[in-house]
């Protein structure tokens, strides 16, 4: 049996073609995909620069759909169920998984990724088969397109959970791509006090304020450190959420963080950066990485269903899957200034 899929057949070459419907294993469900978002990591993998989308591969890990078929060991899920699923297939058995850190599973496979160690086809296709233990049921009032935003939202929730005392604390979000914007809404919902967005250009400034930022400063036109110093009486912010991941933004984060404050690193574009060691030590900064998410999906679905988080504001375009080649090319050339693009098979 054949299905239509968007296949990266070569670097920077995306084709909408017929391919085999994936097999449904004993513990799997086959999902008819309804929505799948294009992630920044898909765009970065498109030209081969990350080495994590080796052709041929079907990308796509931010997806939702309807169960079409269930494997013989599947008892809790039925044909017709509306679902989304974790972007990570974890083993549920290794030490990390047993401690609840499924995002750190030693046998972790990310859906829609093909790298040196594995190839796991994703959801830019009519069908995808996934193991039942990574499924989540959609509340009735959450649409398939909204559910495609759960995966990036869960990354924001996971990072926000790294802040030990959020209530009333000041925070800066450095980098305002999709994750940065979801973080702003998330921090507002978590009860943070002053929230400052820091970004490169003026694009989406009004939207960022609408999402919950009190201030939005641009590194191109503002002296960001000075401005944040003024707002915080020279102290800096309690928490910095770094969602860009390069040397400049990490150094800025160290500068604007309060003494004994915490920097939560979410972005990871540059493999290596240099940092001002003495400043970091003498300010006694706490720095932690935040990787993907570990079980935040339920809370994210709930927040969308209760309208505490508005993901619709961040969806720029929904387009048929067959338009995928056009959108990949466009996003690749627009350098991250777009809102989320969702493809519908
Ligand atoms: Zn992603
Ligand atoms: Zn594991």
Percent of the chain with pLDDT over 70: 99
CA of 155 to the centre of ligand 1 (A): 9
Compute the residue count for the chain: 345
Please calculate the CA angle 153-147-13 and round it to the nearest 5 degrees: 85
Q: Are 155 and 179 in contact (CB under 8 A)?
A: yes
Paired tokens of 14: 């995306």
CA of 296 to the centre of ligand 1 (A): 15
Ligand nearest to the CA of 91: 2
Reply yes or no on whether the pLDDT at 324 is more than 70: yes
Ligand nearest to the CA of 293: 1
CATH 3.90.180.10 in the chain: give the residue spans.
2-152+293-344
Q: Environment class of residue 204 by beta-carbon count within 10 Å: exposed (0-12), middle (13-18) or buried (19+)? A: buried
CA of 292 to the centre of ligand 2 (A): 14
CATH 3.40.50.720 in the chain: give the residue spans.
163-289
CA of 38 to the centre of ligand 1 (A): 8
Q: Which one, of 59, 62, 50, 63, lies nearest residue 14 by Cα? A: 59
Least confident of 116-125, 145-154, 249-258, 334-343: 334-343
Residue 49's pLDDT band (boundaries 50, 70, 90)? Answer: confident
CATH of domain 2-152+293-344: 3.90.180.10
CA of 92 to the centre of ligand 2 (A): 5
CATH of domain 163-289: 3.40.50.720
Q: What is the pTM of this model?
A: 0.96
CA of 133 to the centre of ligand 2 (A): 12
């Amino acid at each position: 049996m054949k299905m239509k899929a968007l296949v990266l057949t070569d670097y920077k070459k995306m084709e909408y073609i017929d391919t085999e419907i994936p097999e449904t294993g004993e513990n799997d469900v086959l999902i008819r995909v309804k929505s799948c978002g294009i992630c920044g990591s898909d765009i970065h993998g498109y030209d081969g620069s990350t080495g994590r989308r080796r052709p041929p591969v079907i990308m796509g890990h931010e997806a939702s759909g309807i169960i079409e078929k269930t494997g013989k060991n599947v008892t809790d899920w039925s044909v017709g169920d509306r679902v989304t699923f974790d972007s990570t297939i974890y083993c549920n058995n290794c030490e990390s998984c047993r401690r609840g850190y499924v995002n750190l599973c030693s046998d972790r496979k990310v859906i829609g990724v093909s790298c040196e160690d594995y190839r796991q086809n994703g959801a830019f296709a009519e069908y995808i088969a996934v193991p039942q233990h990574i499924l989540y049921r959609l509340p009735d009032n959450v649409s398939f397109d909204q559910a495609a935003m759960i995966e990036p939202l869960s990354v924001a929730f996971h990072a926000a959970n790294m802040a030990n005392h959020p209530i009333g604390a000041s925070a800066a979000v450095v980098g305002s791509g999709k994750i940065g914007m979801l973080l702003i809404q998330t921090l507002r919902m978590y009860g943070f006090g002053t929230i400052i967005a820091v970004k490169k250009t003026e694009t989406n400034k009004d939207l960022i304020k609408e999402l919950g930022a009190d201030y939005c400063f641009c590194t191109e036109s503002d002296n960001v450190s000075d401005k944040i110093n003024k707002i915080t009486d020279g102290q800096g912010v309690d928490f910095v959420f770094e969602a860009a991941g390069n040397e400049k933004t990490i150094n800025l984060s160290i500068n604007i963080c309060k003494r004994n404050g915490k920097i939560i690193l979410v972005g990871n574009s540059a493999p290596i950066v240099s940092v001002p060691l003495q400043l970091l030590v003498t300010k006694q900064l706490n720095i932690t990485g935040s990787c993907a998410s570990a079980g935040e999906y339920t809370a994210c679905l709930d927040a969308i269903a209760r309208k505490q988080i508005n993901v619709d504001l961040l969806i720029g375009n929904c387009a048929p899957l067959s338009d995928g080649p056009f959108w990949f090319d466009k996003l690749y050339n627009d350098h991250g200034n777009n809102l989320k693009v969702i493809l519908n098979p």
